């Protein structure tokens, strides 16, 4: 039984990357208010550009739910000093997520350290890095959300590439950590339905992100599609997500250098809202 999104823009959240080339974070917050969007998920560089406290105040004044902060992670490094620097940065990210009242800190865990071909080692570094910050997250009541990334990013962005792998890692880490499910990364997975159910059963389903997979895709990173323009069965996946107990917002996150990042941002938000109501 799917929730009816057709009349309710409050169940949409905007990941701020979606209009990052057109607006700063102040303008994005104002845009969310104008389009009656219920939530927001900002990126740390955009927060930093206008200031953390300023961000927190503006989001609170706007009445927006913060479905996540993007992003922590990027744990692997070629040496111990690099790994420690990444751990320190993740502690700061946790603090920032607390300050803006985020539901979770999204972790894009990182790929192979420079020069390495050892995925198992990189995955071990990710586990160790998260372990090193998890108590800090727990004591600040900030859930961490591992986002499994599409296998095409295994080398350079995230060596956690399936939902099952992310959940196995969560189980090894204990309380205070779950997953962010982004359809772009997981839509192809034959085990997706089972993974979503497992995440829900263990209260590990912390965020749900939507966009679409274009055929054909012209760029590995910056050619995501608007919901409805691609081949992902969005309603089918949302059915699994809601059956697993997820009752939070659907976060729209579109990296689109050649298309949506070149359009009028108010038109982009209008399209996101319309598509959220009709095809998500």
Which is closer to its own copies, CB of 103 or CB of 212? 212
Which is closer to its own copies, CB of 19 or CB of 167? 167
Q: Give the pairing type, strands 250-252 and 65-66.
A: unpaired
Which is closer to its own copies, CB of 100 or CB of 226? 226
Say which residues have a Cβ less than 8 Å from residue 157's Cβ, sequence separation at least 6.
108, 110, 111, 149
CA separation for the pair 180, 122 (Å, rounded): 20
Rounded to the nearest whole angstrom, what is the least distance from the CB of residue 43 to its own copies in the complex?
Answer: 21
Rounded to the nearest whole angstrom, what is the least distance from the CB of residue 68 to its own copies in the complex?
Answer: 24
Taking a C-beta distance cutoff of 8 angstroms, is the pair 109, 126 a contact? Answer: yes
Which is closer to its own copies, CB of 85 or CB of 220? 220
Which is closer to its own copies, CB of 143 or CB of 225? 225
CA separation for the pair 61, 29 (Å, rounded): 10
CA separation for the pair 22, 34 (Å, rounded): 16
Q: What backbone phi and psi angles, to 5 degrees, belong to 118?
A: -100, 90
Rounded to the nearest whole angstrom, what is the least distance from the CB of residue 151 to its own copies in the complex?
Answer: 4
Rounded to the nearest whole angstrom, what is the least distance from the CB of residue 118 to its own copies in the complex?
Answer: 7
Beta bridge partners of 164: none
Rounded to the nearest whole angstrom, what is the least distance from the CB of residue 126 to its own copies in the complex?
Answer: 12
Q: Which residues would be at the binding site for its own copies (CB under 8 A)?
A: 112, 116-119, 123, 150-152, 154-156, 159, 161-162, 165, 187-190, 213, 215-217, 220, 230-233, 236
Say which residues have a Cβ less than 8 Å from residue 88's Cβ, sequence separation at least 6.
none
């Amino acid at each position: 039984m799917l929730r009816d999104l057709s009349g309710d823009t409050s169940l949409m959240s905007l990941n701020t990357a979606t209009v990052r080339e057109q607006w700063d974070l102040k303008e994005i917050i104002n845009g969310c208010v104008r389009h009656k969007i219920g939530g927001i998920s900002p990126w740390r560089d955009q927060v930093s550009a206008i200031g953390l406290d300023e961000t927190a105040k503006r989001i609170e004044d706007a009445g927006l739910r913060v479905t996540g902060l993007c992003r922590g992670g990027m744990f692997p490094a070629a040496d111990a000093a690099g790994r420690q620097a990444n751990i320190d940065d993740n502690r700061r990210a946790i603090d920032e997520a607390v300050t803006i009242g985020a539901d979770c800190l999204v972790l894009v865990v990182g790929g192979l350290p420079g020069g390495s071909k050892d995925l198992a080692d990189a995955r071990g570094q990710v586990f160790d890095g998260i372990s090193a910050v998890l108590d800090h997250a727990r004591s600040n009541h900030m859930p961490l959300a591992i986002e499994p990334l599409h296998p095409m990013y295994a080398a350079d962005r995230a060596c956690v590439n399936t939902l099952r792998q992310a959940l196995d890692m969560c189980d090894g880490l204990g309380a205070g950590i779950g997953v962010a499910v982004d359809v772009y990364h997981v839509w192809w997975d034959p085990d997706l339905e089972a993974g979503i159910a497992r995440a829900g059963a263990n209260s590990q389903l912390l965020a749900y992100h939507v966009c679409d997979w274009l055929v054909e895709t012209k760029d590995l990173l910056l050619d995501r599609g608007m919901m409805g323009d691609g081949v992902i069965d969005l309603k089918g996946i949302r059915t699994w997500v809601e059956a697993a107990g997820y009752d939070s917002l659907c976060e729209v996150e579109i990296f689109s250098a050649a298309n949506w990042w070149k359009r009028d941002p108010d038109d982009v938000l209008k399209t996101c809202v319309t598509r959220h109501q009709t095809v998500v």
